[in-house]
């Protein structure tokens, strides 16, 4: 099943993108052919999707009326686009640029869910379009690639000329699981393999494919570090999160979320490769300390935006040191940890270093903010910012709360 690509004339490479940091520079025209004035938020405006940009500085939400972009540091709505034809089930940002990948929701009469629109909001027009026989499950963007995920196949296109570069089959992937690296001189992609519990790693620059048997059950969530050398995974059981070296498939660490089965909603690795955050349907966000240390590369702890591609090249033969740093925070262990090897495995597990409790019944996705902060967005239209104590861990303190779907949203801060 091949994709059908329609290109608008004069497509620009993504290096020429304008910034979202100056919303006043955006054209006042609503960038759709069936516009409507911005309306007050209400119950009729349903939240369809939430996605972070590549550095967790912004997030995009698809609604039943269009989409919106929010800034996380000094929380505010950056801009919105509303239309009468329906909403968007997928809204994927490219850092803080005006390039977006849009996939319509099930009821969108103009933009169906089997079509990907690459939208340039600076020009107020579609610059590329991809149509498929089946619905699109996910879209991921890099400055040089467009990755489109269907339930059983993944397509990788060049961003500059839209040429199809790679395509691969996967096991049934209704969640559209796929993640990319975002350093300019490495292109790593992780996706489900062809067997249950298997993950396929593509190091495109090295022309290397690696299969990792990550779990016995089907994969439910995954995340890569920015350089693509570290992968965190969870299965449908949702009790364990495993961290792998993507170069050789070695399991470097295993941490435990809990004993009961859970649906893992999100996994994120901190830019400095010191922390991992996990959210699930149990209502608790867990933060774990990583015992994996990037060898000899202080610069890798900084997020490198795509406008500044220079980074330090890692030695791929020994990218990680699985030993604990003497000053690293330690995850919690059972009081019977000393009897590991005799008692059941969970007594020797590493438990979370810090936690934040949320109401159950809502899907939350978590990421890392500035200054040891954890950012959480809920499908009920809620935004939380809490602070991690990197020395003592424990219960994280809430610093900010916003209901961003309501026009009278009020910010609440706690000490």
Q: Work out whether the CA dihedral 139, 38, 12, 303 comes out positive or negative.
A: negative
Place of tokens 């009790």: 239
Q: What is the mean pLDDT of residues 55-71?
A: 93
Higher pLDDT residue, 18 or 5?
5
What residue ranges of the chain are covered by domains with CATH 2.130.10.10? 19-38+45-136
Binning pLDDT at 50, 70 and 90, where does residue 315 land?
Answer: very low
What residue ranges of the chain are covered by domains with CATH 2.40.128? 263-291+328-415
Residue (of 107, 69, 73) closest to 88 by Cα position: 107
pLDDT at 105: 87
- Give the mean pLDDT of the chain: 80
The answer, yes or no, to whether residue 107 has pLDDT greater than 90, is no
Q: d(Cα 116, Cα 345) in Å, to the nearest integer?
A: 45
Selected from 3.40.120.10, 2.30.30.100, 3.40.50.720, 2.130.10.10, the CATH number assigned to the domain covering 19-38+45-136 reads: 2.130.10.10
The answer, yes or no, to whether residue 324 has pLDDT greater than 50, is no
The answer, yes or no, to whether residue 323 has pLDDT greater than 90, is no
pLDDT at 328: 54
Residue (of 12, 15, 188) closest to 95 by Cα position: 15
Binning pLDDT at 50, 70 and 90, where does residue 3 land?
Answer: low
Higher pLDDT residue, 405 or 5?
405
* List of E strands, 142-197: 145-149, 153-158, 164-169, 179-180, 188-192
- b/e per residue, 92-121, with b = 16+ CB within 10 A? bbbbbbbbbbbbbbeebeebbbebbbbbbb
Fold of 263-291+328-415: Lipocalin (2.40.128)
Q: d(Cα 154, Cα 67) in Å, to the nearest integer?
A: 25
Beta bridge pairs of residue 266: 279
Determine if residue 271 is left, alpha or beta; phi over 0 gives left, psi from -120 to 50 gives alpha, anything else beta: alpha
Residue (of 106, 107, 102) closest to 117 by Cα position: 102
């Amino acid at each position: 099943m091949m994709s059908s690509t329609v290109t608008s004339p004069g497509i620009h490479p993504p290096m020429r993108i304008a910034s979202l940091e100056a919303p006043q520079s955006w054209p006042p025209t609503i960038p759709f052919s069936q516009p409507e004035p911005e309306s007050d938020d209400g119950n009729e405006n349903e939240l369809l999707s939430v996605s972070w940009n590549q550095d967790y500085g912004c997030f995009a939400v698809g609604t039943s009326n269009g989409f919106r972009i929010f800034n996380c540091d000094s929380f505010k709505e950056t801009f919105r686009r509303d239309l009468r034809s329906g909403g968007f089930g997928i809204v994927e940002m490219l850092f803080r640029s005006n390039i977006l990948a849009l996939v319509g929701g099930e009821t969108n009469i103009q933009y169906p869910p089997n079509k990907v629109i690459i939208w340039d909001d600076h020009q107020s027009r579609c610059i590329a379009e991809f149509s498929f026989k089946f619905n699109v499950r996910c879209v991921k963007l890099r400055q040089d690639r467009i990755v489109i995920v269907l339930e059983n196949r993944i397509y990788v296109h060049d961003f500059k000329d839209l040429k199809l570069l790679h395509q691969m089959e996967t096991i049934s992937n209704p969640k559209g699981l796929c993640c990319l690296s975002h350093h300019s001189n490495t292109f790593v992609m992780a996706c489900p393999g062809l067997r249950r519990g298997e993950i396929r790693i593509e190091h495109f620059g090295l022309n290397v494919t690696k299969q990792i048997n990550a779990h016995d059950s089907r994969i439910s969530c995954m995340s890569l570090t920015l350089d693509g050398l570290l992968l965190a995974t969870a299965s449908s059981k949702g009790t364990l999160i495993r961290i792998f070296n993507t170069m050789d498939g070695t399991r470097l660490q295993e941490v435990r979320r809990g004993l009961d089965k859970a649906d893992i909603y999100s996994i994120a690795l901190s830019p400095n490769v010191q922390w991992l955050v996990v959210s699930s349907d149990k209502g608790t966000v867990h933060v774990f300390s990583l015992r994996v240390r990037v060898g000899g590369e202080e610069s890798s702890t900084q997020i490198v935006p795509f406008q500044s591609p220079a980074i330090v090249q890692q030695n791929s033969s020994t990218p990680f040191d699985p030993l604990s740093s003497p000053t690293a925070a330690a995850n919690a262990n059972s009081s019977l940890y000393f009897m590991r090897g005799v008692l059941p495995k969970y007594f020797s597990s590493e438990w979370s270093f810090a936690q934040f409790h949320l109401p159950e019944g809502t899907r939350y996705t978590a990421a890392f903010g500035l200054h040891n902060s954890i950012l959480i967005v809920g499908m009920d239209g809620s935004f939380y910012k809490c602070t991690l104590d990197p020395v003592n861990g424990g219960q994280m303190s809430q610093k900010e709360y916003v209901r961003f779907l309501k026009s009278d949203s009020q910010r609440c801060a706690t000490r």
